Copies of this chain bind each other. A is one copy, B any other.
Amino acid sequence: MTNLNREMKLGAFFMIPGHHVAAWRHPKAEAQSVMNFDFIKRLAQTAERGKFDMIFLADGYSIKGKDPKALGQTVNTFFEPFTLLSALSSVTKHIGLAGTVSTTFNEPFNVARRFASLDHLSGGRAAWNVVTSNTESEARNFNLEKHLLHSKRYERAEEFVDIVTKLWDSWEDDALIIDKESAQFADASKIHAIDHKGKWFSVEGPLNISRSVQGHPVVIQAGSSEAGKELAARTAEVIFTAWQTLEEAQAFYADVKGRMAKYGRSPEELKIMPGVFPVIGRTEEEAEQNKRLLEEIIPEEAGVQLLSAMISVDLSGYPVDGPLPNLPDLEQVNGGKSRFQLLKDLAERENLTIRGLYQRIAGARGHREINGTPEQIADQMQEWFENGAADGFNIMPPYLPGGLEDFVDLVIPILQERGLFRTEYTGNTLRENLGLKRPANTLIHHAKETI
């Protein structure tokens, strides 16, 4: 079963000061530093010391929930991804910089341009995690009362990604000449309008920035719904996904990779990286203690709000030590469809109370939680990696900086010793480190004439 000559890809998923909903209360979390760039710079440099492929940032366009008590108990202040990743680009050298940017509340020209700019700034380390936005609180910050229906959001997202890709190709790689003597800065015949006219957008192009170091910044997707899987099979280069069991992860892996051939793509052109929330102890007992500590520091209102937000049902009126109320059918939920299904299944499988369920998901939020010694964590990652469930993992440290430092100092050396992970960066770009090809320029053969 072992895949020789193949190494895991690893993302360092930064949520400041940690992924657990109560991370900021952890005794070792640097909670005062949430808005301190020097703290995040130190985290980035720790991740780079660990040879992670990339730093990954999630994103959202509103604060979470409005119950004043829960609002006061949770972290609702975050750096915006383009600004934070750009600031990190000049204090790191090798690590990739992956930012989540929604197709729902942005314009493709702006997004294409900013990622191209970040890719130039960082010498080829930019990646875009494409998402759609699904909460009403976000919609109300963007002139809308209701969010777009799930299918419309995906339709808009598909068109958005196509436009961005074309804009990245609107300058050929060798368009810049920069010859002072002949007064030729650029070869205008290699700069192309895209003339896109679609259902959602009209974008003429070209971009006002030359083709970037990677050609295209790496495209990441997360959606696991039918529409999300199809879009990913066609356009994604990395998938961040959430699975609890080996069997589910294997089924997803085979499903998505199997959809690629019809788009002329080979399975290696897409890296599937499930999330992993590691609770590390030097002994099993210590790991268990760490897990219990995390459960105990969750403020009740914050736990209920987290769960309510994740399933799109307000649970604040129900007894916290009672069972979950009947949940709506999947068809009625216009949110993160796959996340909802995951939690519904989990609650039913483990017969959890509201408190039990929020404790269960307060860290990993539906992703896989692995508790144990560094060897046990490495074992479980290896099992998925070698059995067709994952090409790598997106690591979600419970609290920071300790959760990341422990992973870098204790788990990564074991993966390296087993030949499962790099000991040095070998590529010059994120794309090269991930083992992804530099994309050909799709506009060269299609453009009938230059602008």
Contact = CB atoms under 8 A, between A and B. Distances in A.
Interface of A: 24-25, 27, 31-32, 34-35, 37, 41, 60-63, 66, 68-69, 71-80, 82-91, 105-107, 109-110, 113-114, 116-118, 120-123, 137, 140-144, 171, 176-178, 180, 183-189, 191, 201-206, 208-210, 297, 299, 302, 450-451
Given A71-B191, A142-B109, A143-B202, A82 B25 contact: no
A114 B188 contact: no
Given A24-B178, A32-B178, A72-B187, A84 B83 contact: no
A185 B75 contact: yes
A120 B206 contact: no
B114 A72 contact: no
A41 B90 contact: yes
A42 to B, nearest CB: 12
A180 B84 CA distance: 26
A185 to B, nearest CB: 6
Given A86-B87, A87-B121, 16 more contacts: A35-B210, A37-B90, A61-B109, A62-B204, A66-B451, A68-B450, A71-B188, A72-B177, A73-B185, A77-B176, A80-B113, A91-B91, A105-B110, A106-B107, A140-B204, A183-B297
Contacts of A171: 77
A441 to B, nearest CB: 16
Contact of A79 (B117, B144, B187): B117
Copies of this protein in the assembly total 2
A73 B183 CA distance: 6
A94 to B, nearest CB: 15
A238 to B, nearest CB: 21
Contacts of A184: 72-73
Given A77-B171, A83-B86, A188-B69, A180 B117 contact: no
Nearest to A194: B141
A258 B205 CA distance: 43
Nearest to A300: B183
Nearest to A33: B178
A32 B186 CA distance: 12
Contacts of A208: 60-63, 76-78
A32 B210 CA distance: 13
Contact of A141 (B25, B106, B204, B450): B204
Contacts of A25: 180, 183
Contact of A37 (B83, B121, B183, B204): B121
